[in-house]
């Protein structure tokens, strides 16, 4: 990855659901290594805490919260955690089946993705 690409994500705050395994975990680790602050949500808090410890050990910034993506309130709480912990939210990565209500809930006018 070029330094230009790394500079585009450095300092950004990224909320990721499904962050305890698979693509969510891999994405979180990668973005944190490029300087993004990541906020991870998933049902398995023990896995999230282990991933967060790894990210912190590597010098990254991370916050985690148990989150069930089928609950709008829990996803909103995850976004609020990002705002409280890091002061902003630049990017939200959600499973495709939750994006439609997320857009309406947060008053977004343009399509996600």
pLDDT per residue as tens digits for the range 3-41? 445 469 999 999 999 889 988 999 999 999 999 999 999
**E strands, the chain, in order:** 13-17, 37-42, 61-66, 91-93
- Whether 98 has a pLDDT exceeding 80, the answer reads no
Q: What is the mean pLDDT of residues 42-68?
A: 96
Q: What is the mean pLDDT of residues 77-104?
A: 80
Q: What value does the mean pLDDT of the chain take?
A: 85
Which positions ≥6 away from 92 have C-beta within 8 Å? 14, 15, 79, 102, 112
């Amino acid at each position: 990855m070029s330094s230009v690409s790394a500079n585009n994500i450095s300092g950004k705050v990224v909320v990721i659901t499904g962050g305890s395994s698979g693509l969510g975990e891999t994405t979180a680790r990668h973005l944190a290594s490029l300087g993004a602050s990541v906020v991870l949500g998933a049902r398995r808090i023990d896995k999230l805490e282990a991933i967060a410890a790894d990210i912190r050990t590597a010098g990254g910034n991370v916050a985690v919260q148990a989150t069930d993506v089928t609950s709008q309130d829990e996803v909103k709480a995850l976004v609020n955690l990002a705002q409280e912990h890091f002061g902003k939210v630049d990017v939200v990565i959600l499973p495709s089946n939750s994006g439609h209500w997320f857009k309406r809930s947060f008053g977004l006018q343009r399509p996600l993705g």
